[in-house]
Amino acid sequence: MVAGPFAFNLCPMKHLATLAVLLFAVGAATAADTIYVHPNAELGGDGRSWNAPYRTLTIALADAQAGDEIWMAKGTYRMGATLNMKNGVRIYGGFNGDEQLRERRDWYRNRTIIESAGGVETLVSMKDVDSTSRLDGLVLQGA
C-alpha cells in the first residue's frame, strides 16, 4: 500500500476479481428470456421451449419480466378477460412452432389470433407501458 493522500492498494488481481463478479451479476440480472406459447400445447409446460410451451398467453405474460420476449405459435387464443401488458415485454406472433430465430417467423402464413371469448370489450390494455413494450404479428378480433 502507498501512504499519503492518494493511498491505494497495489493488488490489481483483487480488483479484477471484484469487477468480474460485479459484471457477471449485472449481466445475469438483465438476461432476457424467450417464453414460448402454443394454443394446442399440453398442460404443464414451463414455457422455456417449443417442446414445453405454455398453452395461454395469460400464463406466459404472468411469467414474463421486462426484457423478455413471448413467441406465440399460429392459432387462435381466446381471451376471457383483458390482457394487461407489462412494461418492457415484447410479444411476437407468426411462429410455426419450431423456429429458433425470431426472423424466421412468418406472420402472414402463420396467423396468430387473439380473440374475445365473449363479453370482453378490451382485448389488450397498454396502460403504463412505454416504447420498450411491443405487440407484433398478431390479429386482434372480436372485441
Share of the chain above pLDDT 90, in %: 73
Closest CA to 57 of 105, 100, 89: 89
Joined grid coordinates for residue 59: 400464463
Q: What is the pLDDT of residue 71?
A: 98
The distance from CA 105 to its chain's CA centroid, rounded to whole angstroms, is: 16
Measured between alpha carbons, how far is 72 from 119 in angstroms, rounded to an integer?
A: 24
Measured between alpha carbons, how far is 31 from 117 in angstroms, rounded to an integer?
A: 34
For 81-121, the pLDDT digits (tens) are 999 999 999 999 999 999 999 999 999 999 999 999 888 88
Closest CA to 61 of 39, 40, 87: 87
Q: What is the pLDDT of residue 30?
A: 52
Measured between alpha carbons, how far is 3 from 141 in angstroms, rounded to an integer?
A: 73
Q: What is the pLDDT of residue 123?
A: 92
3-state helix, strand, coil in the chain (%, to 5): 20, 25, 55
Q: What is the pLDDT of residue 24?
A: 47
DSSP H or E stretch at residue 20: helix 12-29
With a cut of 70, list the residues of the chain below it in pLDDT. 1-30, 143
